Structure formats: structure tokens, C-alpha cells
Structure 1
């Protein structure tokens, strides 16, 4: 934020000065509308070039070069548009091409100095979890003894994973120092934690490592990392917010009509709330229109809905068949607990046959490295409805992991468009 504010002020001041100097040569320009037009273009370009990534603070030269490239691109766009419209003095903008990079350099130096002072040149929160091993952790790291805080890597205990998620909250990097026999369990527990996770020691090939790191002279093997960088997270979040606000505005009459129909059809609240597993294996409350009789609602999600389920109300049958019961999850998107597109969130008690989802495949927890979605790749491929057998889960899991590993905003748009074709589905009841 310091860099962003500094860049905006620097560009505005440089444009104001360029407009004044340009007037001396031939023709100046009104810098205020030019600055207003330039800011969104610059911010989008700079974000895409990772001018506000962590390494832009760690390596000021790299951050400055990205910012300058974004600024030059912005000015060239403004110059092209201004030339086409004939309303902007080209001499003034030519001067801006010199002044803006210089102003950005000064702003970045000031921003780097402020950031370095505030954060003591430590821009990442590093957490070291010690589990039965001694470790010489760096002075700036937060060190936690797993036994003292009561955590252990147990994939068959959702409560333990929730406690681990609470310990990891706010960390940018976590290093596990554990006994060799516990390394596999720690690795599998952290795969879906949405944080850069590393295990101290060697011989971790079976963990599926994705890189190598260093700490205090020892080697670490990276076994997990959040799938999206900061720029991609900003793009995905901005897309979610913009479309969710628009959808809620357009669908407000539909939401009101459904709420009235539910109240007239059966007693109880309009919304059904349920705890589900979300981003980083944490629990969150999902919102849906109530489709079952209040006294028969399944809060744990252990019993899959059947085609002739007598728990479902008359209005509920229609809402489920048309997937309209999912519309309140747009509020989850606004709150930040869900995305428009992502792996569908499940209740802790969900079963595939007679087994819990996480008992069928340990990779199940890996799908939570991204926010859960209202729709997803698995859904547009037809993998939805009750999970009566193990294959019902594994098909969805494979699609979810494929989506996470190959995310693009273009794929999100494509999935949203395809969702319209599967809103009414024979497995939805």
C-alpha cells in the first residue's frame, strides 16, 4: 500500500509538472483528467507486472523496473488516445515520459525506506513449528512447539486440522522441524493450507516436493505453496466482487420471491446455514436457501439427499432441481469466504459410500488450497449430486486438483458460461 500510494502521488505530480513545462514549448494539457484516466491503466499494468509483490520490497530495483515499464505503457496508451482525439499536447506527454520514471524512482526510494523501517526489512512472517526436533531458528521467526499448543499432523481428525489452520493464520512461510517418521504426515497436512510450507531435513522425495529452500544453514524441501500469487489473487477477488455485486443487484427480485415462497411453504428460517471446510482447511458458514423441513435438516451433511427424499419441501424440490438454492452463496463471495468458481465446499460429515471424504483419498485436503466456489470444473463436467460410492468423490477430486493447478481468469469465465448449461441436472435433487 505504501508503494501504491507513493506511485500514484508521484505520477500525479510528474504529470502536473509536465503539463506546465509543455506549455512553454508548444501546447500543454490539463493534467487532472489525464491523471484520472492514467491511474486505472497504470494500476492494472503494474499489478500484472508484479510491481507490488513482496519481492518488489525485498529487491527495490526489480520493483522500480516493473513500475517504470507499467508507467511507460500507460503514457503511451494516453498519448495514442490523445493523438487520436487531438485533445492532448504531445510535447507535454513527451516530457512526462521523462519525469514520471524519475518521480517513480524517488517515490520507490522513499517507500522502500519507510517499509524497511516499519518492517525492519522483514517482509514475510515466518513460522517454525518444532515437533520433537531441535532447531536453530532465525531471530525474526516465530517458533512454536507443536506439543505445547496441542497440534499434530492427523489427516483423520478435522478438528486437529482446524486447530492447525488457526496456528498458521497470518503466516507467509512455515517450516516444520520434525522427526523423520512424522515428515510424511506433516507434508500431507500442509498441502491444502494455502501457505508456503517447507520441511527441514533431506530425503523427502516421497512428499512430492516442489522446490528447495534454506534456513540457518540447513536444507528444506518445499512441499506446498499457495497456488495463486498476489497479483492473481487480486484479479480473482476483483472479478468475484464485481460480478457478485452485479448479480445480487439483478437477482434481488428473484431472491425476494424465493424467500416469500419458502416462508409460505413451510415453517422455519429462509436461509440454511452449515459449517463447511473452506480455504486452508478452515471452517466457514455457507448460506443456502432452506429446502428441507426445519426439524429434518441435516446440519452435518452425513445423509445425501435422495430423489424421493421426504425431508425436502415442495419449494425445496424446485430450488434443488434448478440450483436456485445456491444463490445466497453470493453473500459468501462478498464476505470473502467463497469464490464464484472453485472446488465445491463440503460438510465435515460428508460420506462417499460409508467413508468420510478424507478417508477415501488423502489428497482431498489439497483441494482447499483455493477458496471454495459456487460452481467449479467438477460441476460443469457433470460430477455432482449424491456420493454413493468412492468413484463419485475421486472424479470430483481429480477435477478440483486439475482446476487448482491450472488456474487462469479465462478458465473461470469459461466455467461460469458452461455452468448455465448444467444448472438443471438429473443428479440435482
Structure 2
């Protein structure tokens, strides 16, 4: 087989203990130190850039107006700045103006900053129109202030570019090469996971191993794969399911699943995936989750306390039921639900789905399951960042469609975990709620889950939430 022909890099040996795979929650395959350091530096870089840009905007506006008798730092000016800065940051995030690849290129960085400033100014104009507030400032002065701020943004982004060049040595992306052969000539900024010295292998029938791989590659932004055809298919499925940007090193362009072509040194790479969401989209989704979950949790808090008391009164045991579910990047997490079954009848592994006349379910449990009130504690999972309001529903590791485990029905099952699981999803509003009894049921749900991943937008999330209200009480909810 072909070798990667680039300057030699010592192979990073990874030693794994097989007995540690007994439980996915106990797996701790630590990331390489360089990735952790650069991840922290990137976070500081983004914070530094936002602070510099905000300062550039404030100073740019203030310098021009001092000579004209209007001060942006006066009460009237501050009220406007309070609108401009948050709006600028918001448009910068959704426009990837603070993304590391953008910041490393001055032209793209400046363009992104100007677009964000333009968006912020549109917000100011709209607010001024609807709120009917005005400032004692001429239009010409306002234009000069904008030009001044725009010029200082160029300086701000130039400083950021210097920080990247000198502080991060021009590298803002953490990259990992997974290979099953001697890694020669790999650029020194790329970490190497040599499978010749590691027992780490994709096993699509083992959720624990899938979780371990996700933990191992979590610190990286881009993962390259260079291995033989015998193992390639399993790795391709695993990496695409991780939600990471992935490329495969090949001697020729021969894999139909690629979404583009890239380069690694002197080799062609096929881009397997770019990740389902950009940084800006992930931030939007998280802010949306918090903006909705926090007030809803406060609103339904009294109801949750009443339900918890009723559960405790009807049967002994805790009011909450927790269970291990498969979460984002195939990593397990503990989901919270109101307990709807008798304590002795609970199914930790989820091997037995609830039936319509299930004798394990209590009277209170039957009501809260039918009305979906039992799902309300998952708002805590949303606040903890383990779940989202909208996304593919998380399943227990022992869930079956007929006699088959879910991942045995289709290898595509793992790819639904590229995003955080949700309290509701596209499949649920199309009637796929409750137990999954057959293989065709699971395949239909899977199609909707993958469709959601491929066409994500904040508007779609909002639409799904509103549609969920109509199906809260559903014939399949029991």
C-alpha cells in the first residue's frame, strides 16, 4: 500500500487497556496535549478578537464625534453602543467572522468584520424606526463614525492576524492523522494515531468502542484517515458519525461517499464530511436552547413539583428515572425523566419497550406518558448541554427493532448522533413516537433524523417546536 510521503514525525503511540471497554462511561482515553493547548488558545483568541473589535467600534465612533460635540460615551451614545456591540457579535458569529480559519486570513477576516458591522447598523436603524428614538447627531457625522470604526476594525483584525502568526505559529486548526502504516513526512503540526500500536478499532456493534473513539478524537477539528480498504468502511462510518470534519488520504479518487477533494502534503484527500454545523450555527443553536429552556423550566417548575409529589405518593422510590442513552458523537449520557413505572420494574438497558397495556406503568405514569409530561426533566439535560430542544431522540443501548439492536438494522444509525439528541425531532412530528417495534419503523425514523441533520436551520428548529405542541398527546404515547 502507498505511504504518506512527507518529513518524518515520531509516531504517537496510544496504549489502550481492553478491560476498560467494559463500560463506556468509564473510558478515558486522553487527548494529546498539543490539541488541548491549541483548543484553549483558540478560545482565548476568539475572546481577544471580540474585545479588540468592540474597542475598535467604540473608539472609532468616539474619536469622530468628540470634535462634533456628541459623545458616544454619553448616556445617549451608550444606549446606541449597547445595541451595536451585541448585534455586531451576533452577526459575526453567524457569519463565521470569529472562526479560526477566517481570522488566519486577513482579507476574509476584515470582510467578515465589515459584514457584521453592516448587520449591526441595520439593527440600529430598525430599532430607531420602531422605537422612535433619535440622537442629536447629523447623518454625515454618523457616516464618518462608521468609516472610522471600519478603519479601526482593519487594524484590529491585523493585530489578530499577527497573534495567530506569532502566538499560534499560523496554525489554528487541530488535525489528527489516523493511519495503519508507518507515518513518514507528516507535517509537525499534525498528531498521529498509529493503529499499528493501538487496539483502537471501529466496532459498529459496540457502543462502548464507538464512544471511546469519539472521546479520542474530540479535541480535533479535522481528522485524516489513511488505512487499508479492509478497515476503511468501518472508520468512514465512525468518523462521519462523530460530527467532525473528516478527509481520507487515497492514491486515487475512488470513494463515492466523498463531498469534496482536499490535500494533505503531496497527497489527495477525499473530504468525507465537514461536520453538520459550523461554529456559528452551534452557538446559535445553543443560545436558542437556553433562551427557550430557561423560561420554560421556570414556568413549568410548579407543575414538575406537583408531578414529583404524586409519583412519590403512588409508589415508593425516587420521582426521577435516569437511564444511559447514546448522545452526541455516540457518547453515553444520563437522561432524566419522571419515573412512570414501579421501581422494581424499571429497565435500565431499555431492552423492553413500553406497551399500551404495560403492567409496569403506574396510574400517574400512564397519564404523564400520554401527555409527555414525563419528558419535562430533560430540560435539565438541555441546560447541562447534553441535549438540545430539537434533534434526533436519544435511544437506550439495548433498544431493539424486533429482534435486532438498532445499530444492527443499519450502519447509518450511528450517523444520527452527529448532533446533540433532542427532546423532540423531525421524526416525532411525523408521527414516529413511542416504541419502535419493527425494522421499517426504525428505518423511517432514521430517514427523518438524517434529513434533519442535512437541512438544519434555526427556523427548522422553531418550526419543529411549534409542530410538537400539536402532537404532545399522541396515540403512540403510552
Sort the TM-score into its range (normalised by shorter chain): over 0.9
Counterpart Cα distance in 2 of 1:134 and 1:163 = 23
Aligned with 1:72 (options 105, 118, 128) = 118
Counterpart Cα distance in 2 of 1:131 and 1:367 = 27
- Could you tell me which residue of structure 2 aligns to residue 45 of structure 1? 91
- Could you tell me which residue of structure 1 aligns to residue 468 of structure 2? 419
Residues 287 and 329, structure 1, Cα contact 8 Å, conserved in 2: yes
1:265 is aligned to 2:265: no
1:19 is aligned to 2:68: no
Q: Structure 1 residues 202 and 268 mapped into 2: Cα distance closer, same or farther (>3 Å)?
A: farther
Counterpart Cα distance in 2 of 1:79 and 1:316 = 52
- Indicate the SS of the match to 2:460: helix
Q: How does 1:89-108 map to 2 (within 5 A)?
A: 89-90=137-138, 91-108=140-157
Residues 61 and 146, structure 2, Cα contact 8 Å, conserved in 1: no
Q: Structure 1 residues 94 and 225 mapped into 2: Cα distance closer, same or farther (>3 Å)?
A: closer
Counterpart Cα distance in 2 of 1:79 and 1:318 = 50
Residues 326 and 397, structure 2, Cα contact 8 Å, conserved in 1: yes
- Indicate the SS of the match to 1:32: helix
Shift of 1:132: 4.0
Residues 187 and 223, structure 1, Cα contact 8 Å, conserved in 2: yes
Aligned with 1:243 (options 253, 269, 292) = 292
Counterpart Cα distance in 2 of 1:360 and 1:168 = 26
Residues 174 and 219, structure 2, Cα contact 8 Å, conserved in 1: yes
In structure 1, stretches of 5+ residues that fail to align are none
Residues 175 and 199, structure 1, Cα contact 8 Å, conserved in 2: yes
Q: How does 1:214-363 map to 2 (within 5 A)?
A: 214-363=263-412
- Could you tell me which residue of structure 1 aligns to residue 77 of structure 2? 31
Counterpart Cα distance in 2 of 1:88 and 1:66 = 30
Counterpart Cα distance in 1 of 2:469 and 2:59 = 48
1:153 is aligned to 2:187: no
Higher mean C-alpha displacement, 14-23 vs 390-399: 14-23
Residues 196 and 225, structure 1, Cα contact 8 Å, conserved in 2: yes
Residues 349 and 356, structure 1, Cα contact 8 Å, conserved in 2: yes
Counterpart Cα distance in 2 of 1:162 and 1:272 = 23
Counterpart Cα distance in 2 of 1:188 and 1:367 = 11
Q: How far does the alpha carbon of each residue in 1:125-146 deviate from its partner, in whole angstroms, 9 at most, with x for none?
A: 1011122454532111111123
- Could you tell me which residue of structure 2 aligns to residue 177 of structure 1? 226
Shift of 1:202: 4.0
- Could you tell me which residue of structure 1 aligns to residue 186 of structure 2? 137
Counterpart Cα distance in 2 of 1:22 and 1:72 = 23
Counterpart Cα distance in 2 of 1:73 and 1:385 = 44
Residues 393 and 424, structure 2, Cα contact 8 Å, conserved in 1: yes
Counterpart Cα distance in 1 of 2:294 and 2:96 = 27
Q: Structure 1 residues 352 and 63 mapped into 2: Cα distance closer, same or farther (>3 Å)?
A: same
Shift of 1:299: 0.5
Shift of 1:50: 1.9
Counterpart Cα distance in 2 of 1:29 and 1:79 = 18
Higher RCO, 1 vs 2 (CA within 8 Å, ≥6 residues apart): 2
Residues 101 and 173, structure 2, Cα contact 8 Å, conserved in 1: no
Counterpart Cα distance in 1 of 2:254 and 2:303 = 53
Residues 202 and 221, structure 1, Cα contact 8 Å, conserved in 2: no
Residues 95 and 112, structure 2, Cα contact 8 Å, conserved in 1: yes
Shift of 1:81: 5.4
1:85 is aligned to 2:169: no
Shift of 1:76: 5.2
1:111 is aligned to 2:160: yes
Q: How far does the alpha carbon of each residue in 1:211-243 deviate from its partner, in whole angstroms, 9 at most, with x for none?
A: 112112111111123111111111111101110
Shift of 1:82: 5.2
Q: Structure 1 residues 204 and 21 mapped into 2: Cα distance closer, same or farther (>3 Å)?
A: same
Residues 176 and 192, structure 2, Cα contact 8 Å, conserved in 1: yes
Q: Structure 1 residues 73 and 186 mapped into 2: Cα distance closer, same or farther (>3 Å)?
A: closer
With normalisation by structure 1, the TM-score equals: 0.95
In structure 2, stretches of 5+ residues that fail to align are 1-46
- Indicate the SS of the match to 2:69: helix
Residues 164 and 171, structure 2, Cα contact 8 Å, conserved in 1: no
- Could you tell me which residue of structure 1 aligns to residue 5 of structure 2? none
For the aligned residue pairs, the C-alpha RMSD in angstroms reads: 2.0
Higher mean C-alpha displacement, 296-305 vs 110-119: 110-119
Residues 127 and 143, structure 1, Cα contact 8 Å, conserved in 2: yes
Q: How does 1:371-386 map to 2 (within 5 A)?
A: 371-386=420-435
Q: How many residues align?
A: 427
Higher mean C-alpha displacement, 45-54 vs 355-364: 45-54
Counterpart Cα distance in 2 of 1:244 and 1:354 = 37
- Indicate the SS of the match to 1:4: helix
Shift of 1:379: 0.2
Q: Structure 1 residues 166 and 74 mapped into 2: Cα distance closer, same or farther (>3 Å)?
A: closer
With normalisation by structure 2, the TM-score equals: 0.85
Q: Structure 1 residues 206 and 350 mapped into 2: Cα distance closer, same or farther (>3 Å)?
A: farther
